[in-house]
Amino acid sequence: MQAAPTYRIPQPVTALDIKATTLTAPVIFLHIGHLGQIASDLAARIATSPEFFRNVPVIVDISRLQADDTVDFVALAELLRQQQLVPLAVRGAHGALRARVEAAHWAVLSDEAMRGEPAARAPAPRSAGATRVITQPVRSGQTIYAADSDLIVLAPVSPGAELIADGHIHVYGSLRGRALAGVRGNAASRIFCHDFRAELVAVAGTYRVNENFAAAQLGSAVQIYLDANDMIIEPLYHGSKL
Amino acid sequence: MARTIVVTSGKGGVGKTTTSASFAMGLALRGHRTAVVDFDVGLRNLDLIMGCERRVVYDLVNVIHGDANLNQALIRDKRCDQLYILPASQTRDKDALTQDGVGRMLDDLAKEFDYIVCDSPAGIEKGALMAMYFADDAIVVTNPEVSSVRDSDRMLGILASKSRRAEAGQEPIREYLLLTRYSAKRVKLGEMLSVEDVQEILSLHLLGVIPESPSVLTSSNSGAPVVLDKISDAGQAYEDVVARYLGEDRPQRFVEREKKGLFGRLFGG
């Protein structure tokens, strides 16, 4: 297939472009302004996972310091660089303190920045539904569909009945109808059956009809799954004869 | 409050009307005030089997549409004064039935009768659905034959989902299996499904087994429910069925091939 021709829109020539981005950085909350203690405590924390902290930009939050506790922000920056951290910004500095922070060449983050950044917007995982359990016989003409979940049937399934699931299907009894597992494409779905006499079985769209089951499989306990695109029907219990 | 029993099957020609007639007669003979209603609008048979076809004035559709009241339509049986028949219409069809109308009619019947037996038509469409919608009990008539078993299974699914009890979340319809036209000889030869074979698919409470019998044809030709023929095997089997339904414990008499005595083998068929 030929690649579609690409067209380049002429751009003005500039050396740079500025865009907004969001950044996740560790925040070091200071409790005490004593630089010596800060240095030793920091070294101990970094030692637990040095690679994680190497060359990482950090934000220092001073909101938990006592009111009379002062910090030499120039010395603090040097301390951090010695531990291979990159001093980025100070959070929680108000009034006169802001001027001192800026003079020491730190960025000052406003209080609005105290709000945690929203976690990366990942699509909400589709919660797996509770497995559906059927205890009454499934009669001819009935259809049971377990959406987003597995299906367990503890009663006989008559010819002409349909069991459908997005996940696995277990029949702890006679299966004489149809069983279709993984109907939305979950090829890892399986069908487990205690007394296998189905009219048709399917996993993620790959199906086989009763006529094409091996005679020895009928009436026995089997599990059915896909290996690549091949349907495998094998004994459910190890050591049982098929 | 009356108990409403539907006699249904799905498959046609298995013995629903024969059963409705004998079952209702059996209940009435035991002193219970019983009405048997023919729901097969347009293909009315119950009046023939009951022998009252020459006395039909008004029918079920007349009652539902308000052309007549129940007392005008109900026909009292000449053999048992506890038994009344409500025939179906022959000129109309099942579209003439409405759920509200059927419900009101059954409510009116319930005021005067202990048991209401509804003879369902074959199939799973409106007529059969109307007959079973208001039922408390269901007798699922099945022949020991694969297509009848499949259709009965389908009907069981419908009873479990489309009845008033199912829709209202009440206690479900009590289902009974009645195996009809059973031949113990053919089962023994392996030609016919046995009771166990049928139960493997249907898994129902077995109400009874009615043997294949020439007395059924004789009875319907003479307009009498076969239960009145006390000598016939089918008649006796229906009597057992009524007894079991009412709670008596009766052994299944016609499942095993009866051993014939010497005279039977010499002179019997």
Mutation target for B interface from A140, A144, A176, A197: give the one with most B CBs within 10 A. A140
- Which of chain B's residues have a Cβ under 8 Å away from the Cβ of A141? 154, 157-158
* A73: alpha, beta or left? (left if phi > 0; alpha if psi -120 to 50): alpha
> What is the pLDDT of chain A when averaged over all its residues?
85
Q: Is A137 on the interface with B (CB under 8 A)?
A: yes
pLDDT for A53: 84
Which tens digit of pLDDT belongs to each residue from A116-173?
A: 444 444 443 444 678 999 999 999 999 999 999 999 999 999 999 999 999 999 999 9
- How far apart CA B65 and CA B69 sit, in angstroms, is 10
- How far apart CA B27 and CA A133 sit, in angstroms, is 40
pLDDT over 90 at A34, yes or no: no
Per this entry, what is the length of chain B?
Answer: 269
Contact A160 B153 (CB under 8 A): yes
Across the interface, of A137, A160, A174, the residue whose CB is closest to B150 is: A160
- Which of chain A's residues have a Cβ under 8 Å away from the Cβ of B150? 140, 159-160
CA nearest neighbour of B208 among B169, B248, B153, B263: B248
Contact A139 B150 (CB under 8 A): no
Dihedral (C-alpha) A32, A34, A36, A38: value to the nearest 10 degrees?
A: 30
**Sheet strands side by side (includes A178-181):** A143-146, A162-165, A178-181, A200-203, A206-209
Distance from CA of A119 to the nearest CA of B (A): 46
Q: Is A136 on the interface with B (CB under 8 A)?
A: yes
- Which of chain B's residues have a Cβ under 8 Å away from the Cβ of A142? 157, 161
Q: Which two tokens stand for residue B146?
A: 């694969």
pLDDT for A17: 84
- Which of chain A's residues have a Cβ under 8 Å away from the Cβ of B158? 141
pLDDT for A103: 87
pLDDT over 70 at A73, yes or no: yes
Among chain B residues, CA nearest to A158: B201
The answer, as to whether pTM is greater than 0.90, is no
Please report the ipTM that was assigned to this predicted complex: 0.76
pLDDT for A71: 84
* Cβ atoms A232, A203 nearer than 8 A: no
pLDDT for B263: 61
Contact B201 A176 (CB under 8 A): yes
Q: Given pLDDT bands bounded at 50, 70 and 90, which one contains residue A70?
A: confident
- How far apart CA A151 and CA A138 sit, in angstroms, is 13
Kindly list the distances between the CA atom of residue A237 and the CA atoms of A192, A194, A230, B106, in Å, as whole numbers in the listed order: 11, 10, 21, 54
pLDDT for B260: 61
Dihedral (C-alpha) A60, A66, A69, A72: value to the nearest 10 degrees?
A: 10
Provide the 10 A C-beta neighbour count for residue B195. 17
In sequence order, what E strands does chain A have?
A: 27-29, 56-61, 85-91, 107-109, 132-134, 143-146, 151-153, 162-165, 169-175, 178-181, 191-196, 200-203, 206-209, 222-227, 230-235
What is the distance, to the nearest Å, from the Cα of residue B21 to the centroid of all Cα atoms in its chain?
A: 7
Residues 6 or more apart whose Cβ sits within 8 Å of residue B87: B38, B44, B46, B47, B52, B56, B59, B60, B73, B75
Among chain A residues, CA nearest to B10: A140
Which tens digit of pLDDT belongs to each residue from A191-238?
A: 999 999 999 999 999 999 999 999 999 999 999 999 988 999 999 987
How does strand A222-227 pair with strand A230-235?
A: antiparallel
* Cβ atoms B20, B87 nearer than 8 A: no
- Which of chain A's residues have a Cβ under 8 Å away from the Cβ of B161? 142
Residues 6 or more apart whose Cβ sits within 8 Å of residue A178: A161, A162, A163, A198, A199, A200, A201, A202
Among chain B residues, CA nearest to A155: B203
Distance from CA of A140 to the nearest CA of B (A): 5
Contact B150 A141 (CB under 8 A): no
Percent of chain A with pLDDT over 90: 50
Distance from CA of A203 to the nearest CA of B (A): 25
Cα angle vertex A71, ends A86, A64, to 5°? 90
pLDDT for A127: 45
Q: Which of residues 220-239 of A touch B (CB under 8 A)?
A: none
Mutation target for A interface from B129, B152, B153, B198: give the one with most A CBs within 10 A. B153
Q: Mean pLDDT per segment of 10 residues, for chain B of length 269 residues? A: 95 97 98 97 94 94 94 96 95 88 96 98 95 98 96 95 94 96 95 95 95 97 96 97 97 80 59
Mutation target for B interface from A154, A157, A158, A174: give the one with most B CBs within 10 A. A158
